[in-house]
Amino acid sequence: MTVSIEKEPFTEALFAQMLPLARKCWHESTEAKGTSCAFYGERDFEIMPNLEKFLELHKAGAMLVITVRDGGTLVGYVEGFTYRSLHHKDILGGIGDVMYLEPPYRTYAAVLVARFEEEMTALGAAIIGWPTTAHGPVYRILEARGFVGDDIVMEKRLNKDTSCALPPP
């Protein structure tokens, strides 16, 4: 096992490598969230991330991707963003959006989070927010690194007549 953890630019090629892992993450989080999700019972569709928006955020210098590779093969990643706070204009914030590691590589999770923190600090972020479920493994890792539960995100499904699934191609 030759594992490397590196910051990489977000590109269409990297997106193509990340997408299968993102879909695995989606399915795992569906099981973990259960009834605590507003889309409970309706998360059985494939996600299709907004590539154009990700590329736009990367071009603006607001996207951060840290990859975990084994011999060049992508086995995990964390991605997040920087933003200017709407409530404190002088504060640059960071947000951890998604982290996924293939099961044999999950021992690298804390190292991956630490690297994400280092890179966010280097970008000038003063704070990192990281939405996560309170009973999941990411929560425990973040808590061990000094993150605190500040707010909780409440969800409510507004239009139950609209399917979450993508239309057939």
The domain total for the chain is 1
The answer to whether residue 169 scores a pLDDT higher than 50 is no
C-alpha dihedral over 36, 39, 44, 49, to 10 degrees?
-110
Question: DSSP state, 35?
Answer: G
Q: Give the residue with greater pLDDT, 169 vs 87.
A: 87
pLDDT at site 168: 46
* Residue 164 resides in a domain: no
pTM to 2 decimals?
Answer: 0.85
* Residue 159 resides in a domain: no
Range(s) of the domain holding residue 65: 3-144
* Residue 154 resides in a domain: no
Tell me the average pLDDT across 18-44.
Answer: 71
* Residue 158 resides in a domain: no
C-alpha dihedral over 24, 67, 4, 94, to 10 degrees?
-130
Q: Give the residue with greater pLDDT, 105 vs 132.
A: 105
Query: Using an 8 Å Cβ cutoff, are 29 and 149 in contact?
Result: no
Locate 92 and state its tokens.
Answer: 């640059």
* Residue 91 resides in a domain: yes
CATH number assigned to the domain comprising residue 118: 3.40.630.30
Buried/exposed code over 155-169 (b: 16+ C-beta within 10 A; e: otherwise): eeeeeeeeeeeeeee
* Residue 151 resides in a domain: no
- d(C-alpha 12, C-alpha 27), whole Å: 23
| pLDDT tens, position by position, 118-151 | 999 999 999 999 988 887 888 899 999 999 988 8
